[in-house]
Amino acid sequence: MHKWFSLIQLFVVCGLVMGCGSSPESDTSDGASATSTNAGITIALLPKLKGISYFTSCAEGAKQAADELDNVELIYNGPTTASADKQAQMIDKWRLQGVDVIAVAANDPAVVSESLRKAQDAGITVITWDADAQAADRSFFVNQATAAAIGGGMVDVMANDLGGLDAAGDVAIISATATAANQNEWMQHMKTKLQSYPNLKLVATKFPGEDQNAAFQDSQDLIKKFPNLKGIFGISSVSFPGAAEAVKQAEKTGEILVTGLSTPKDMQPYVKGGEVKTVVLWNTLDLGYLTVYAAAAIRSGTLKPGATEFTAGRLGKKQISGDQILLGDVLLFTKDNIDQFDF
């Protein structure tokens, strides 16, 4: 009994001690314990999630860049699901380990905000890539395309493939979860863009989550329910192949077009088969490459706020607009060019 009470006391004391220290306002920890020496810059690259080709190819490009720059050490890790909370935990650990740069593709700007801010306060360079965080939480954003360009681009591509401004018919969007931040942003812009095509009608939006079978089932159901369905937007890496497969199995290849964001390799069979005419993306290898070059340059002071352009290795000169480093245009992959790309 006595022992038991002392254990409780021990825990109470530990709890209070830990508690007193963990509040940021009273945190008097000094800055990042590792300073960037000339000997090396540690860059931590954080994707939205780890297991999909999109980010794996970005990481490949990033590794190329790290190899070219001889004083850069690249750390690549990410959550296994698109969890902003797990990202925040990783950012916190990297801060404590004293990395020099953290480059984040944020799953959700609000959730990672405090972790990023603390990292900046500790002297770490924070930049974002692919998906931005709140502007105050990072110094630069390596941007491949704005949400408007992505959402609008997908709609333009679909309309174009369906016949241009007079394109007519029903379209549907298959997203991921109802709360997925990026998809929601794109959808907003898609809906705006659709207004410029008066004869295209958005008839349904579906949220199958990350479940491929559900995405397939939803697409299958929509194909049956809407006989005038002409296009499906598969705007997640799970729903895009699911929708294309459903169109194929319903034998509507060519009658219903599927488009969305994907790496060319991932959708290549469907592009060849005709379910997909155009895949929208950008060069993900280049995105990762540019991010690492930018990270190293910002850290070493070569790239300062206010600069309007920046030379990134084999990519040459890249434009900077405000605090956004621009990769370049959206790329469209079709039957004609899809074999040229190795990602």
Q: How far apart are CA 260 and CA 175, in angstroms?
A: 10
Q: How far apart are CA 72 and CA 42, in angstroms?
A: 6
Closest distance to other proteins from the beta carbon of 85 (Å): 6
Pairing type for strands 229-234 and 257-260 reads parallel
Which SS3 state, helix, strand or coil, does residue 156 take?
A: helix
Closest distance to other proteins from the beta carbon of 153 (Å): 22
The string over 188-204, giving b where at least 16 C-beta atoms fall within 10 Å of a residue's C-beta and e elsewhere, is: ebbeebbeebeebbbeb
Q: Name the residue nearer to other proteins (CB basis): 139 or 220.
A: 220
List binders of other proteins among 137-176 (CB under 8 A): none
Spell out, one character per residue from 198 to 227, where the chain touches other proteins: x when CB under 8 A holds, - when not. Answer: ------xxxx-xxxxxx-xxx-xxx-xx--
Contact 103, 59 (CB under 8 A): no
195 near other proteins, rule: CB under 8 A: no
List binders of other proteins among 53-82 (CB under 8 A): 53, 55-56, 59, 75, 77-81
Which of these, 45, 137, 41, lies nearest to 98 by C-alpha position? 41
Closest distance to other proteins from the beta carbon of 235 (Å): 15
List binders of other proteins among 235-294 (CB under 8 A): 237-238, 241-242, 245, 249, 266, 269
22 near other proteins, rule: CB under 8 A: yes
Q: Name the residue nearer to other proteins (CB basis): 216 or 233.
A: 216
Closest distance to other proteins from the beta carbon of 80 (Å): 5
189 near other proteins, rule: CB under 8 A: no
List binders of other proteins among 101-130 (CB under 8 A): 108, 110-114
* Backbone φ/ψ region at 243: left (φ over 0), alpha (ψ -120 to 50), beta: alpha
